[in-house]
Amino acid sequence: MTEHIAQTATETSSELDFHFDNKFVRELPADPETDNHRRQVLGACYSFVKPQLVKAPELVAYSKEMAAELGLTEAECHSEQFTRVFVGNELLPGMEPHAQCYGGHQFGNWAGQLGDGRAINLGEVINDEGKRFCLQLKGAGETPYSRMADGLAVMRSSIREFLCSEAMYHLGIPTTRALSIIATGENVTRDMFYDGRPKAEPGAVVCRVSPSFLRLGSYEIFTSRGDIDTLKQLVDYTLETDFPHLGEPGKETYLQWFREICERTADMVVDWMRVGFVHGVFNTDNTSVLGLTIDYGPYGWIDDYDPNWTPNTTDAVGRRYRFGAQPQIAQWNLLQVANAIYPLIDDAEALRNMLNDYVTVYTDKWQQMRAEKLGLSAFIEGDEELNQELNRVMQFTETDMTLFYRHLADVSVDDIDADEDKLLAPLMIAFYAPDSLNRTDKNDFVAWIRRYLKRVQEDGIDDENRKAKMNKVNPKYVLRNYLAQMAIDKAEQGDYSLVEELLDVMRHPYDEQPQYQQYAAKRPDWARNRPGCSMLSCSS
């Protein structure tokens, strides 16, 4: 499958100064078996395992912002030791590498034990501000949870995860982070679309960073096995470590914890919908207990507005994880974790009420978000119809979602009675086939714009303030699939310059950045159906 040195990292002295406090492995039960072979792991939250050595690691890129959070200097990030450590070739004093055990529902079906199949947690760092961060290597080798896979990752999927983690952070969306991406100097064999055409691709390792990598499936696995003692131990640990404001464990605290999980999940999904992000594989094992976007696999960004679009080839028929279904899937996932923690609460009605409350909470947040995207102060009666009509006309005319909302801010209230060409002029950039707009399309758009401008007049906000408000929530730059693919194409030839440039662009997604104007363009024709730009697989 791949070429590698069949050895694992060993601990060395360090010039990198980290304060490790590995509370997860200190306080939760470990797998007593230390031999690294595939197996069902019972009564344990993790298994100790070491990263696999690679031949010729090379730093591709790192996040300056994440490095600063961890107290790393620029010189340290460019050091040879940094590259060795964050590819998995060297362990620092205090690191206790391990893989987590969890289960999950995949595409609506219980999948049993899953676990960190190609992720190895190095340990937990406490920074100078007292914040806890778990450092995790993705693509660093086999674990007991790897099943039939090799535990490795290819360059293309690693670049996508690295760039998107940081892009989402700068968009203001709750997410796990990425510290670095390092090429391994080895090839990894992948069948990208599972069609019997495998090929060797450059390998890479991403260092992911998060306060916790616990997901809903972390709790489901123990309930599914009837292991309520370990379930309680993990829940109590989670409360003490990540939700200390809720107080001591007990029925009421567990309920408040579940309520907060629901609210955080609602916040996350509302943000996904705001910017046109589609997770693509929103399983319970890919749903963070902290309400963070986690596991960037076959994700995608809406180009032309289509609520039925999914980026995942595996989901092409059922479209379970399509853009427009994400709020409902979130609630379904929350139902599964409610079932998982029920043995600790024994109050189905209370949990059911909170799940019902999720609909209200999400709807309120969703409505306010849509008002902000339109530059309005609040969502009022009649705005639902205004939004639904916009969604209809955008979908029928192949309209770029990001560009439409960004340039809607350029339409002036003073032009409410202007002719259709003047009204449409600021928005023509958003249409994929502007010359093909028929009379009905134009009439529908013009009618909607006039209705929208009348609503703006009623709101009493002037054009300048409305534009400033809209440009804070409607990004100019998002990590469109074709942009990531362009960076991947170069990186696979050893040129990492576009990875660095896109990382820089995505640091300021709401700013004009005229020097990067080319990255604000809608999807080019060549990318419409190209692999990596339209549909992706779970190996992507």
Per the residue annotation, which of 116, 150, 285, 315 is the catalytic one? 285
Cα 299–Cα 304–Cα 310 angle in degrees, nearest 5: 30
The pair of structure tokens assigned to 493 is 């030839």
- Across the chain, how many H-helices and E-strands are there? 17, 13
Q: Say which amino acid occupies 538.
A: C
**Residues 107, 182: Cα–Cα separation, whole Å:** 31
Q: Say which amino acid occupies 515.
A: Q
Say which residues have a Cβ less than 8 Å from residue 317's Cβ, sequence separation at least 6: none
Q: Is the dihedral of CA 461, 467, 468, 470 positive or negative?
A: positive
- The yes-or-no answer on residue 285 being catalytic is yes
Contact by Cβ (8 Å): 264, 175: no
Q: Which pairing describes strands 177-190 and 58-62: parallel, antiparallel, or unpaired?
A: antiparallel
Say which residues have a Cβ less than 8 Å from residue 252's Cβ, sequence separation at least 6: none
SS3 per residue for 474-538 = CCCCCCCHHHHHHHHHHHCCCCCHHHHHHHHHCCCCCCCCHHHHHHHCCCCHHHCCCCCCCCECC
Contact by Cβ (8 Å): 358, 352: no
Contact by Cβ (8 Å): 539, 190: yes
287: exposed, middle or buried (C-beta count within 10 Å: 0-12, 13-18, 19+)?
Answer: buried
**Closest to 207 (Cα-Cα) out of 182, 227, 230, 225:** 182
Q: Is the dihedral of CA 308, 109, 334, 332 positive or negative?
A: positive
123: exposed, middle or buried (C-beta count within 10 Å: 0-12, 13-18, 19+)?
Answer: buried
Contact by Cβ (8 Å): 86, 122: no
Q: What is the DSSP code string of 45-82?
A: SEEE--PBP-SS-EEEEE-HHHHHHTT--HHHHTSHHH
The pair of structure tokens assigned to 411 is 């339409």
**What are the distances in angstroms from CA 359 to CA 323, 334, 339, 387?**
17, 11, 18, 19
Contact by Cβ (8 Å): 243, 290: no
Contact by Cβ (8 Å): 292, 279: no
**Residues 483, 359: Cα–Cα separation, whole Å:** 35
Q: Which pairing describes strands 103-106 and 109-113: parallel, antiparallel, or unpaired?
A: antiparallel
Q: Which residues are catalytic?
A: 285
